[in-house]
Amino acid sequence: MKFLGLTPELFWSIFGGLAAITALLYILKLRRRRVTVPFSPIWSRVVASTEARRWWEVFKRLLSFLVQCAFLALVVLAIADPHPEERSLEGREVVLVLDTSASMQALDVTGGVDRFDVARKEALKILEGLGPQDAVMLVTMDGQLRPLTPFVKKSAILEQQLKEVKPSATPANVRQAMSFVRDATRGKAKTEVYLFSDAAFPPGEFEAARGLLPPSADFHLVRVGEAGSNVAITAFNVRRYLANPLDYEIYVEVRSYFEREVQVSLELYADGELLDVKQGAITLAPRGTQRLFFPNEGFAGQRLEARVKLTTPDARDVFRLDDTAYAVLPRAKQLKVALVTEQNLYLEAALIANDGNVTYEVVAPGAWSAADAARFDAVIVDRAPLAEAPTQGSYVFIAPPEGGAGWEVKGTMERPLITATQKGHPLLRYIAAKSLDIDKAQKLAVKPGKDQVAASAYGEPMLVARQDGGLRAVAIAFDLRQSSIPLRVALPLLLLNALDWVTDAGDSIVPTWRTGEAWSIPVSREVKEVTITPPAGEPKQVPVYEGRAIFYGEQVGFHEVKTERDTFLAASNLANPLESDIKPPEAAAVAADTLDVAQATRSFQGQPWWIYLVLAAIALLLVEWVTYNRRWTV
């Protein structure tokens, strides 16, 4: 046994001194009171019994002295803070890693509000059991690693920080956490690592992370969580077409993590108001997924929410964070288009027909310069050569001439017939390309890896979509006037599809961001800084690099993005099938050093003995009180 509060020499010195003082008090002669009694036979009895009681009185006083010495020994021993012999006087380095990922908000635990609340309480118990020589570091782990403190010996400093920690809506990066612990404890003699988590990691992730720690580290996983019953929205988006800005299409992916069949309902909300209940009885197979598509939906507002609800009576969804998904309705935008042409009334008529979506300005080819492109959202070049091939921007080329606009022309072909189309390509939406009559077309050379051929005639490309760095361009290989397309509704549709694609608004999808990732939010290149306000929290100033605001998302919901010129919303969701799979693995499947919540505190080797010594001293005082009142020791 070792003393951490006093050295053995100091212990014996204090105990010996107190025992000597106690003995001196017992040796002091008692002053008896003189009492006059009126009856002499009493004195006869006293004198007769004095000799017989003398040795008994001495024994009782000796017993009282020994009780006092035992009490002093217990008190001084408690002050000395004894510990087992194997306990190092140098103390230990203890690392507490607290999982603050999204799955820790599951409500399937007893003894706390959620998994995170139980894990925090267990971490506080560990702090309470630390010895005076122990140093502890507190680390939180989710999508980002946050060391809250260095190694400190005053654990009370950490208690308030631990109480203020909150879980995020991001997945846990356990490899990053264990790699940090390995580096932080390198060279330390005795290290204990406690990970408070539900261990709901991707398959094989925990084993790989555990292997990063050195064998000398005493590792323990304090596992929380009991069930994996959950239904989730794992994908959600809404889009509109430029050709019909009043109608939207909605895509929802609903997933079940139950081991049996369950039923759910899906509700849609716009700006907080219930719009519709979609498929009120969606049946999900055990651990099954359904992908739902709702076309031709009309909405008003800006904020769209999808909420899934479990309708099976005897089933309980214990994880609510992924029950609601968020999306921003695309704002209708009127494109400003430059029409570079000598004259083409067919093109102008098609653009006028879409006056609600497009405004245009005709520019003569000789008057056009590359600098003019900055004033427009897109440029349509009709049979006109450009002085230099564009490398940035949005362009639609119609019958590009040889050596102009960056398209290589290998010749011409007479009476081409479109024989192949790429199914589902945005350029062909609502268009029956194979029925078009074309008199003459250019033979365009395509760039592998940069060009997509949407339609071809006997292997020769007729419609080509090119994405080359900052350039998005569409090439129509034939002169529109030398085809039947001006006589059909296909012409305005083709132009709108092409403008949709080159302006990167083909489906008019406002991206929904995923928590736990760095978002690259597009803004004007002239903006140097934006202010992003999360759903719960203070506004944050975010710098802009090359027209992109880089922001790490930790919360689900609507974020307000404010620039000098505009304010818009960014929607974020958990959208992580692995993080929604909240079922904790079995202890044997994780590691041999896994602890249940009830075992965590008992396994900690810092339990103080002085508490029990103080309790024993109090018990001894009670014994002395009883013997004194019974006149056994006086």
Distance of alpha carbon 225 from alpha carbon 228, whole angstroms: 8
Distance of alpha carbon 614 from alpha carbon 620, whole angstroms: 10
| pLDDT recorded at residue 90 | 62
Say which range, 62-66, 432-436, 544-548, 573-577, has the weakest mean pLDDT.
Answer: 62-66
β partners of residue 145: 141
Q: For 455-465, what is the mean pLDDT?
A: 92
pTM for this model (two decimals): 0.63
Single-letter amino acid code for the residue at 147: P
* CA 458 distance to own-chain centroid: 51
Q: For 367-381, what is the mean pLDDT?
A: 89
Say which range, 386-395, 399-408, 458-467, has the weakest mean pLDDT.
Answer: 399-408
Whether 599 shows a pLDDT value over 50: the answer reads: no
Whether 595 shows a pLDDT value over 70: the answer reads: no
| pLDDT recorded at residue 509 | 64
- Confidence tier at 279 by pLDDT (50, 70, 90): low
Q: Residues 102-150: pLDDT tens digits?
A: 999 999 988 888 999 999 999 998 888 787 778 899 999 999 999 998 9
The better pLDDT of the pair 55, 230 is held by 230
Distance of alpha carbon 247 from alpha carbon 298, whole angstroms: 5
Distance of alpha carbon 538 from alpha carbon 531, whole angstroms: 10
| pLDDT recorded at residue 39 | 58
The DSSP result for 438-471, as a single string, is BSEEEEEPP-TTTEEEEEEETTEEEEEEEEETTE
- Confidence tier at 601 by pLDDT (50, 70, 90): very low
- Confidence tier at 612 by pLDDT (50, 70, 90): confident
Say which range, 46-60, 354-368, 508-522, has the weakest mean pLDDT.
Answer: 46-60
The better pLDDT of the pair 413, 61 is held by 413
**CA geometry: angle 567, 568, 570, nearest 5 deg:** 140
Q: For 382-396, what is the mean pLDDT?
A: 88
Structure tokens at 520: 């690259």
Q: Which one-letter DSSP state was computed for residue 593?
A: T
Residue with tokens 């921007």: 393
Distance of alpha carbon 379 from alpha carbon 405, whole angstroms: 12
Q: Residues 315-352: pLDDT tens digits?
A: 999 999 999 999 998 766 678 999 999 888 888 888 88
The better pLDDT of the pair 22, 286 is held by 286
Q: For 528-534, what is the mean pLDDT?
A: 94
| pLDDT recorded at residue 602 | 40
| pLDDT recorded at residue 463 | 93
Return the number of other C-beta atoms located less than 10 Å from residue 534's C-beta. Answer: 19
| pLDDT recorded at residue 58 | 56
Distance of alpha carbon 286 from alpha carbon 259, whole angstroms: 5
| pLDDT recorded at residue 1 | 65
Q: Residues 45-102: pLDDT tens digits?
A: 555 555 545 544 555 667 777 777 887 787 877 777 776 665 545 678 899 999 999 9
The better pLDDT of the pair 288, 595 is held by 288
- Strand 548-552 vs strand 540-545: parallel, antiparallel, or unpaired? antiparallel
| pLDDT recorded at residue 396 | 93
State the average pLDDT for the chain: 83
The better pLDDT of the pair 2, 205 is held by 205
**Residues 6+ positions from 351 with CB-CB distance below 8 Å:** 337, 339, 358, 360, 492, 495
Q: Hey, which of 4-13, 34-43, 289-298, 317-326 has the most confident mean pLDDT?
A: 317-326
The DSSP result for 263-305, as a single string, is EEEEEEEETTEEEEEEEEEEEE-TT-EEEEEEEEE---SSEEE
Whether 239 shows a pLDDT value over 60: the answer reads: yes
| pLDDT recorded at residue 4 | 58
Q: Decide: 330 and 509 in contact? Cβ < 8 Å.
A: yes
| pLDDT recorded at residue 48 | 54
Whether 28 shows a pLDDT value over 80: the answer reads: no
Whether 528 shows a pLDDT value over 70: the answer reads: yes
| pLDDT recorded at residue 605 | 44
Report the Cα–Cα distance between both ends of the chain, in Å, rounded: 37
What percent of the chain stands above pLDDT 70?
83
Whether 271 shows a pLDDT value over 70: the answer reads: yes
Residue 480: C-alpha distances to residues 368, 420, 499 (Å): 21, 19, 16
Q: For 181-207, what is the mean pLDDT?
A: 89
Whether 603 shows a pLDDT value over 50: the answer reads: no
